[in-house]
């Protein structure tokens, strides 16, 4: 909310797609739809109305957009993604090594890189 | 910052870029469209084009809700807000978007009561604090933002707040993608799929793109590693001749979407038979309007809205840039009559608009003679 | 030749400022401000081609060299974590003198007060001015006060004019900047602007941040001692932030500024606020930092001197000057990505300093 009569010109950056991960640090006692999130020391109130079917608790991480929590962030999936990224190129290196042994490669589809690259 | 910094790790970015170079067929020119304006902004902000090989071309799509809003809708809303008892409330991005007689900000300088809000719930708070006035919230955005507006309207009704209404410009993403694919000028190899819209609608709505149009689409996050990984996934599909929907942004996007959000939207909104999109013309079933049960909170029902239609200045090529047919710098007005300070079209105002992103982050790099080494 | 040739007749200068009215953006410190100053004020005051405009004017009066500068302070709210308008009013002008290469000596203060302002509020600011002046080692030499009707002054506006003695051996001139020169920053950016934004209470956001307002003269002094002959340029990045100051430099010297993103010090809370609001830290106002461009052979000594001086421990070399992109600022990352950062457009944070 801006104050009366002030020419409060916008902070830059578009709010439409701007969504930031934040950690729920506190539920507001008198309002089940409200919580405080922390983003590296910045604390902000968010509305939990869109997550009523799967209410986050303090310690959970959520994606925040225009003051609403849109989704819980899955630590498991994040770790999985990082592992996939760290392995990029390593499978190719492994394949090169195997080729170096002089073994015949009969079928391209058996090359190990298919599964890990697509991150399914 | 957790869930941010890890996805900006420079070593992993370099690795992903190498993988992209390895996967990309040197005899092929890839045209990948990122639909969402937030992705356009991220690509420029992180300088990702610098790490991609030259045969991968990123085409900017129309997923910028400010950019596709016809000027007439701003004029309509400002004509309602001309009433001194009406407060015009909107997100910051709307403030400098030009209407025929100036932007909301310029109207504010001339005496209109214009306020920035950071959430639709702020607009309700404003209404409570200003009982003598009426607060009209200018709602805009794709399915990412529509549920928040929906919830806000539910609360306005439940709490009996009558000096509040919404001027609804919410649009839906699938018709925009359809319009791109139907465009005869467009040849695309695949899509970097919207990330935050998908937290609401899930990944199923994109299945027709893979099945019927035979184009791969990867739902993508907004950090550099998300974008690069999505490109890796697209290239891997293209290499194998596949066309599937994949979810790269798994840590945030549920395949089935957000049921509570979809439920709220269904309760408050219905599809308009058609809606005008700047640059894309009239598209049927592509925008939301407020249902009859909430008519009292629908600004278009409570107020007389002129229904102004404004055609873009002839020289402005917003439509072609929106569809990805032209690059921003190819528009005749780019950088001359149209700059972020003096925008002619909304693509130059919104920081997600491809013209603004290109202007602010990129176009002066064209003069760089040597490659930049980033030693500290 | 036409009427201008007559003795005593002032030729109307060519005005390049064509906007019909003044907008908030003209006071923001970015592009619009630049247009106003260069397009409307400079032609009348300094003639057709005034050369680069600096933070303070260097005058010679009866053989004595003197630096003089002025600044006004319109801040809302008046008091905020880390300081108040009174402190800004002193430190702001002291810093302008310091970065022009002068030792601040004396200030005169103008107050425009709004009728209805409480005396205890005013007294608190007078105290703040006196305390800051003492800390900065400057005399308050005098001032003026006016009162305007209620509603016309946002409680109080302060203007400070400062006088200083040029530091021997320091010559600030953007035209002396060369490719290869290093860019030095005294400490973390964005603290002041974000503190003010939070203090306005409009954002439902809170954080542990304080304004960085302070006199930078001690640090400038340390820099001058360690690397005086190598100092080419200095500036205090207030409104418009580091990006605006460096864009002005790039324009004035015709070179490019390359910044190394990972070297730029930013406190976590500032970063969090900027990510949440979609703001660029390089555009946020600072009130206790300064930038310097140095000859490369003296840069390390300069950095060491700053880091060893009180309050300079977070100083960093954040970039360097190159031929390209001429006239622009380019931010680069460790993975080879880059983006241009322009001068501020519009006014994201009005009434910030």
Cβ-defined contact of C263 to B17 (cutoff 8 Å): no
CA distance C126 to B224: 50
Containing B105, the helix (H) or strand (E) segment is helix B104-109
What are A62-107's pLDDT values in tens digits?
A: 999 989 999 999 999 999 999 999 988 776 666 666 666 665 544 4
Nearest to C339 among B17, B45, B119 (CB): B45
pLDDT in single tens digits along all 376 residues of chain B: 899 999 999 999 999 999 999 999 999 999 999 999 999 989 999 999 999 999 999 999 989 998 899 889 999 999 999 999 999 999 888 888 888 898 898 899 889 999 988 889 999 999 999 999 999 999 999 999 999 999 999 999 999 999 999 999 999 999 999 999 998 878 899 999 999 999 999 999 999 999 999 999 999 999 999 999 999 999 999 999 999 999 999 999 999 999 999 999 999 999 999 999 987 889 999 999 999 999 999 999 999 898 888 877 778 888 888 888 889 999 999 999 998 888 888 788 777 788 988 888 877 776 564 444 433 3
Q: Are residues B95 and B225 both part of a single domain? A: no
Strands of the B134-141 sheet, one edge to the other: B114-116, B86-90, B134-141, B164-170
Cβ-contact C87, C132 below 8 angstroms? yes
CA distance B114 to A107: 66
**Average pLDDT, rounded, for chain C:** 90
C254 to chain B: which residues are within 8 Å by CB? none
Cβ-defined contact of B115 to A2 (cutoff 8 Å): yes
Cβ-defined contact of C337 to B46 (cutoff 8 Å): yes
> What is the torsional sign of CA B208, B211, B215, B219?
positive
Q: Which region, left, alpha or beta, applies to residue C190 given φ > 0 means left and ψ of -120 to 50 means alpha?
A: left
Cβ-defined contact of C335 to B51 (cutoff 8 Å): yes
What 3-state DSSP class applies to B102? strand
Per-residue model confidence (pLDDT) at position B298 = 97
Cβ-contact B246, B225 below 8 angstroms? no
Cβ-defined contact of C202 to A40 (cutoff 8 Å): no
DSSP 8-state secondary structure symbol assigned to residue B241: T
CA distance A93 to A98: 9
What are C234-271's pLDDT values in tens digits?
A: 999 998 999 999 999 999 999 999 999 999 999 999 99
Q: Which region, left, alpha or beta, applies to residue B231 given φ > 0 means left and ψ of -120 to 50 means alpha?
A: alpha
3-class SS string, chain C: CCHHHCCCCCCCCCCCCCCCCCCHHHHCCCHHHHHHHHHHHHHHHHCCCCCCCCCCEEEEECCEEEEEEEEEECCCCCEECCEEHHHHHHHHHHHHHHHCCEEEEEEEEEEEEECCCCHHHHHHHHHHHHHHHHHHCCEEEEEEEEEECCCCCCCEEEEEEEEEEECCCCCCCHHHCCCCCEEEECCCCCHHHHHHHHHCCCCCEEECCCCCCCCCHHHHHHHHHHHHHHEEEEECCCCCHHHHHHHHHHHHHCCEEEEEHHHCCCCHHHHHHHHHHCCCHHHCCCCCCCEEEECHHHHHHHHHHHHHCCCCCCCEEEEEEECCCCCCEEEECCCCCEEECCCCCCCCCCCCC
Domain C54-166: which topology? 60s Ribosomal Protein L30; Chain: A; (3.30.1330)
**Extents of the domains making up chain C:** 54-166, 174-340
Nearest to C258 among B109, B362, B372 (CB): B372
Containing B259, the helix (H) or strand (E) segment is helix B259-268
Q: Are residues B78 and B224 both part of a single domain? A: no
Per-residue model confidence (pLDDT) at position A60 = 96
Q: What is the mean pLDDT of residues C312-324?
A: 97
Q: Are residues B145 and B83 both part of a single domain? A: yes
CA distance C351 to C335: 37
Q: Are residues B148 and B273 both part of a single domain? A: yes
Peptide linkage before B124 cis (omega within 30 of 0): no
Helix and strand numbers, DSSP H then E, in chain B: 14, 13
Per-residue model confidence (pLDDT) at position A14 = 47
Containing B32, the helix (H) or strand (E) segment is strand B30-36
- Burial tier of C187 (Cβ tally within 10 Å: 0-12, 13-18, 19+): buried
Which of residues 2 through 31 in chain A touch C, CB cutoff 8 A? 2-3, 6-15, 18, 20
Subunits close to A (at least 3 CB pairs below 8 A): B, C
Q: Are residues B71 and B59 both part of a single domain? A: no
Per-residue model confidence (pLDDT) at position C115 = 95
Distances in whole angstroms, Cα of residue B274 to Cα of each of A72, B21, B271, B289: 34, 43, 8, 10
CATH number at residue B278: 3.40.50.11740
- Domain count of the fold of chain B: 2
Q: Would strands A20-27 and A61-65 be described as parallel, antiparallel, or unpaired?
A: antiparallel
> What is the torsional sign of CA B219, A10, C23, B77?
positive
Q: Would strands C64-73 and C79-80 be described as parallel, antiparallel, or unpaired?
A: unpaired
Cβ-defined contact of B47 to C336 (cutoff 8 Å): yes
Q: Are residues B161 and B279 both part of a single domain? A: yes
Q: Are residues B207 and B275 both part of a single domain? A: no
Containing B57, the helix (H) or strand (E) segment is strand B56-63
Cα angle, residue B84 at apex, residues B92 and B160 outer, rounded to 5°: 75
- Partner B contacted by C342 (CB < 8 A): yes
Q: Are residues B160 and B266 both part of a single domain? A: yes
Q: Would strands B217-219 and B30-36 be described as parallel, antiparallel, or unpaired?
A: unpaired
CA distance C126 to C139: 14
- Partner B contacted by A93 (CB < 8 A): no
Distances in whole angstroms, Cα of residue C45 to Cα of each of C49, C71, C216: 11, 17, 29
Cβ-defined contact of C335 to B374 (cutoff 8 Å): yes
| A25 min Cα distance to partner chain C (Å) | 13
CA distance C84 to C80: 6
Give the bridge partners for C337, in sequence order.
Answer: none
Q: How confident is the model at residue C6 (pLDDT cuts 50, 70, 90)?
A: very low
Per-residue model confidence (pLDDT) at position A96 = 67
Both tokens assigned to B86: 């009406």
Q: Are residues B167 and B262 both part of a single domain? A: yes
CATH number at residue B233: 3.40.50.11750
Per-residue model confidence (pLDDT) at position C32 = 84
Q: Are residues B223 and B292 both part of a single domain? A: no
CA distance A98 to B358: 45
Which residue did the predictor score with more confidence, C51 or B197?
B197
In terms of Cα–Cα distance, which of B111, B112, B109, B116 is closest to B81? Answer: B112
Per-residue model confidence (pLDDT) at position B376 = 32
Nearest to B148 among A1, A66, A82 (CB): A66
Name, in order, each residue with C-beta under 8 angstroms of B315's C-beta and a sequence gap of 6 or more: B332, B333, B337
Subunits close to B (at least 3 CB pairs below 8 A): A, C
Query: How many other CB atoms are found less than 10 A from the CB of residue A66?
Result: 25
Cβ-contact A89, B15 below 8 angstroms? yes
Per-residue model confidence (pLDDT) at position B310 = 83
What 3-state DSSP class applies to A108? helix
CA distance B74 to B105: 12
Residue B33 in domain: yes
- Partner B contacted by C203 (CB < 8 A): yes
Cβ-defined contact of C269 to A2 (cutoff 8 Å): no
Cβ-contact B32, B59 below 8 angstroms? yes
Cβ-defined contact of B141 to A16 (cutoff 8 Å): yes
- Partner A contacted by B91 (CB < 8 A): yes
Cβ-defined contact of A1 to B66 (cutoff 8 Å): no
Containing B76, the helix (H) or strand (E) segment is helix B71-81
Distances in whole angstroms, Cα of residue B31 to Cα of each of B49, B207, B218: 13, 20, 14
Per-residue model confidence (pLDDT) at position B279 = 79
Least confident of B11-15, C13-17, C27-31, C146-150: C13-17
CA-based nearest residue in chain A for residue B352: A14
Cβ-contact C273, B1 below 8 angstroms? no
Cβ-defined contact of A10 to C348 (cutoff 8 Å): yes
Cβ-defined contact of A42 to C283 (cutoff 8 Å): no
- Partner A contacted by C273 (CB < 8 A): yes
C275 to chain A: which residues are within 8 Å by CB? 20, 39
Q: Are residues B96 and B147 both part of a single domain? A: yes
Q: What is the mean pLDDT of residues A27-37?
A: 90
What are C165-198's pLDDT values in tens digits?
A: 999 989 999 999 999 999 999 999 999 999 998 9
CA distance B320 to C129: 57
Cβ-defined contact of C204 to A41 (cutoff 8 Å): no
Both tokens assigned to B260: 């509570």
Distances in whole angstroms, Cα of residue A44 to Cα of each of A21, A39, B121, C206, C269: 12, 8, 14, 6, 12
Cβ-defined contact of C348 to A40 (cutoff 8 Å): no
Which of residues 276 through 295 in chain B touch A, CB cutoff 8 A? none
Per-residue model confidence (pLDDT) at position C48 = 66
What 3-state DSSP class applies to B97? coil
| Domain boundaries A20-99, CATH class | mainly beta
A68 to chain B: which residues are within 8 Å by CB? 119, 147-148, 151
**Extents of the domains making up chain A:** 20-99
CA distance A67 to A65: 5
Residue B203 in domain: yes
- Burial tier of C115 (Cβ tally within 10 Å: 0-12, 13-18, 19+): exposed
Per-residue model confidence (pLDDT) at position A100 = 65
B39 to chain A: which residues are within 8 Å by CB? 17
Residue C164 phi, psi (nearest 5): -145, 165
Cβ-defined contact of C338 to B365 (cutoff 8 Å): yes
Q: Are residues B93 and B151 both part of a single domain? A: yes
CA distance C353 to B239: 56
Both tokens assigned to C94: 């002291």
Complex ipTM over 0.85: yes
Peptide linkage before A107 cis (omega within 30 of 0): no
Query: How many other CB atoms are found less than 10 A from the CB of residue B81?
Result: 26
Per-residue model confidence (pLDDT) at position B221 = 96
Counting Cα atoms < 13 Å in the Cβ hemisphere of C87 gives 19
Most confident of C16-20, C150-154, C210-214: C210-214
- Partner B contacted by C300 (CB < 8 A): no
- Partner B contacted by C178 (CB < 8 A): no
Q: Which domain holds residue B16?
A: 5-37+46-63+191-247
> What is the torsional sign of CA B291, B292, B294, B296?
positive
Q: What is the mean pLDDT of residues C10-28?
A: 76
- Partner C contacted by A52 (CB < 8 A): no
The CATH architecture one would assign to domain C174-340 is Alpha-Beta Complex (3.90)
Q: Would strands A68-72 and B30-36 be described as parallel, antiparallel, or unpaired?
A: unpaired
Residue B373 in domain: no
| C258 min Cα distance to partner chain B (Å) | 9
Task: Tell the residue number behind the tokens 């219905």, with chain if given.
Answer: B270
Largest CA distance in chain A: 78
Per-residue model confidence (pLDDT) at position C348 = 57
Cβ-defined contact of B340 to C345 (cutoff 8 Å): yes
A8 to chain B: which residues are within 8 Å by CB? 115-116
């Amino acid at each position: 909310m801006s104050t009366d009569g002030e020419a409060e010109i916008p902070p830059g950056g578009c709010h439409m797609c701007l969504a930031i991960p934040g950690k729920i640090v506190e539920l507001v006692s008198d309002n089940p739809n409200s919580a405080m999130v922390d983003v590296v020391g910045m604390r902000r109130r968010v509305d939990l109305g869109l997550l009523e079917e799967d209410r986050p608790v303090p310690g959970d991480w959520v994606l925040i957009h225009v003051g609403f929590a849109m989704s819980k962030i899955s630590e498991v999936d994040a770790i999985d993604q990082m592992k996939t990224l760290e392995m990029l190129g390593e499978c190719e290196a492994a394949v090169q090594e195997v080729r170096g042994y002089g073994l015949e490669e009969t079928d391209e589809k058996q090359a190990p890189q298919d599964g890990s690259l697509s991150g399914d | 910052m957790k869930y941010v910094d890890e996805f900006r790790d420079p070593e992993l970015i370099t690795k992903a870029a190498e993988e992209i170079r390895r996967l990309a067929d040197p005899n092929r020119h890839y045209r990948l469209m990122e639909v969402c304006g937030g992705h356009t902004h991220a690509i420029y902000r992180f300088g990702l084009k610098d790490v991609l090989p030259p045969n991968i071309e990123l085409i900017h799509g129309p997923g910028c809700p400010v950019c596709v809003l016809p000027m007439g809708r701003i004029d309509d809303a400002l004509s309602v807000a001309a009433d001194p008892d009406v407060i015009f409330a909107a997100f910051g991005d709307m403030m400098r978007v030009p209407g025929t007689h100036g932007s909301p900000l310029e109207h504010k300088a001339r005496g209109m009561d214009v306020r920035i809000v950071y959430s639709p719930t702020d607009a309700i708070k404003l209404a409570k604090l200003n009982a003598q006035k009426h607060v009209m919230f200018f709602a805009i955005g794709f399915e990412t933002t529509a549920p928040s507006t929906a919830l806000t309207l539910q609360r306005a009704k439940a709490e009996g707040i009558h000096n509040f209404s919404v001027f609804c410009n919410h649009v839906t993403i699938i018709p925009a993608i359809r319009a791109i694919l139907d465009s005869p000028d467009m040849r695309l190899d695949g899509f970097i799929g919207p990330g935050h819209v998908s937290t609401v609608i899930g990944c199923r709505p994109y299945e027709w793109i893979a099945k019927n149009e035979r184009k791969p689409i990867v739902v993508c996050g907004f950090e550099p590693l998300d974008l690069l990984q999505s490109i890796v996934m697209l290239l891997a599909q293209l290499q194998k001749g596949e066309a599937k929907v994949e979810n790269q942004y798994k840590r945030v996007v549920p395949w089935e979407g957000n049921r509570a959000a979809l439920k709220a939207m269904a309760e408050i909104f219905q599809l308009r038979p058609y809606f005008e999109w700047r640059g894309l013309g009239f598209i049927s079933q592509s925008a939301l309007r407020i249902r009859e049960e909430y008519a009292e909170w629908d600004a278009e029902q409570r107020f007389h809205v002129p229904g102004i239609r404004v055609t873009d200045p002839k020289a402005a090529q917003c439509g072609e840039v929106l569809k990805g047919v032209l690059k921003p710098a190819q528009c005749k007005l780019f950088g001359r009559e149209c700059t972020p300070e003096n925008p002619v079209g909304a693509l130059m105002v919104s920081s997600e608009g491809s013209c603004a992103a290109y202007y602010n982050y990129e176009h002066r790099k064209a003069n760089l003679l040597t490659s930049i080494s980033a030693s500290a | 030749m036409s009427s201008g040739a007559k003795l005593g007749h002032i030729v109307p200068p060519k005005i390049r400022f064509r906007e019909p009215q003044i907008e908030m953006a003209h006071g923001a410190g970015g592009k619009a401000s630049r247009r106003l100053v260069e397009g409307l004020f400079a032609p009348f005051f300094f003639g057709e081609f005034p050369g680069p405009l600096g933070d303070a004017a260097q005058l010679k009066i009866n053989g004595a060299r003197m630096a003089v500068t002025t600044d006004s302070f319109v801040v809302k709210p008046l008091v905020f974590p880390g300081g108040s308008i009174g402190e800004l009013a002193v430190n702001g002008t002291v810093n302008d003198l310091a970065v022009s290469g002068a030792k601040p000596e004396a200030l005169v203060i103008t107050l425009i007060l709004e009728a209805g302002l409480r005396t205890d509020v005013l007294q608190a600011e007078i105290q703040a001015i006196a305390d800051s002046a003492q800390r900065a080692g400057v005399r308050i030499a005098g001032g003026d006060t006016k009162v305007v009707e209620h509603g016309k002054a946002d409680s109080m506006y302060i203007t400070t004019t400062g006088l200083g003695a040029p530091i021997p051996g320091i010559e600030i001139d953007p035209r002396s900047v060369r490719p290869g020169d290093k860019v030095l920053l005294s400490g973390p950016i964005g603290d002041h602007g974000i503190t003010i934004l939070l203090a306005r209470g409009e954002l439902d956001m809170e954080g542990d941040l304080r304004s960085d307002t302070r006199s930078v003269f001690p640090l400038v002094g340390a820099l001058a001692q360690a690397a005086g002959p190598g100092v080419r340029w200095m500036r205090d990045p207030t409104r418009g932030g580091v990006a605006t100051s460096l864009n002005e430099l790039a324009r004035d010297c015709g070179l490019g500024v390359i910044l190394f993103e990972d070297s730029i010090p930013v406190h976590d809370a500032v970063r969090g606020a900027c990510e949440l609001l979609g703001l660029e830290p390089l555009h946020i106002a600072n009130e206790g930092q300064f930038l310097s461009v140095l000859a490369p052979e003296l840069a390390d000594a300069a950095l060491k001197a700053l880091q060893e001086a009180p309050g300079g421990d977070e100083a960093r070399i954040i970039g360097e000057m190159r031929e390209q992109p001429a006239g622009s600022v380019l931010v680069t990352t460790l993975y080879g990505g880059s983006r241009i950062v322009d001068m501020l457009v519009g006014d994201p944070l009005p009434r910030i300093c």
